[in-house]
């Protein structure tokens, strides 16, 4: 049975909200595996989180992740 448009629209999460929940889950795993203090309210303010994101961005770039521009140039 189809739902009215206003109900299906309200059931979808916005991408910004999805990103926050994904970041929370990722940070919880890091804290749990490294025996660090986990506090949801300090997610984007914590120096430990900032260092973790900096390192993960570096590793992602080092492995060649997210090279969309280079791939598009080769296809043209």
Average pLDDT over residues 23-39: 93
Average pLDDT over residues 17-39: 92
Q: Which residue has the higher pLDDT, 12 or 26?
A: 26
pLDDT band (50, 70, 90) for residue 76: very low
pLDDT band (50, 70, 90) for residue 59: confident
Give me Rg for the CA atoms of the chain. 18
Q: Which two tokens stand for residue 26?
A: 């990722």
Is residue 26's pLDDT more than 60?
yes
Q: Which two tokens stand for residue 40?
A: 């949801």
Overall pTM > 0.75: no
The number of helix segments (H) and strand segments (E) in the chain equals: 4, 0
* DSSP state letters, 25-56: HHHHHHHHHHT----GGGTTT-HHHHHHHHHH
């Amino acid at each position: 049975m189809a739902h009215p448009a206003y109900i299906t629209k309200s059931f979808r999460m916005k991408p910004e909200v999805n990103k926050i929940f994904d970041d929370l889950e990722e940070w919880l795993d890091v804290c749990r595996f490294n025996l660090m203090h986990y506090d949801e309210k300090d997610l984007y303010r914590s120096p430990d989180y900032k260092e973790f994101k900096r390192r993960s961005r570096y590793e992602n770039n080092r492995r060649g992740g997210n090279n969309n521009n280079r791939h598009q140039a080769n296809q043209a």
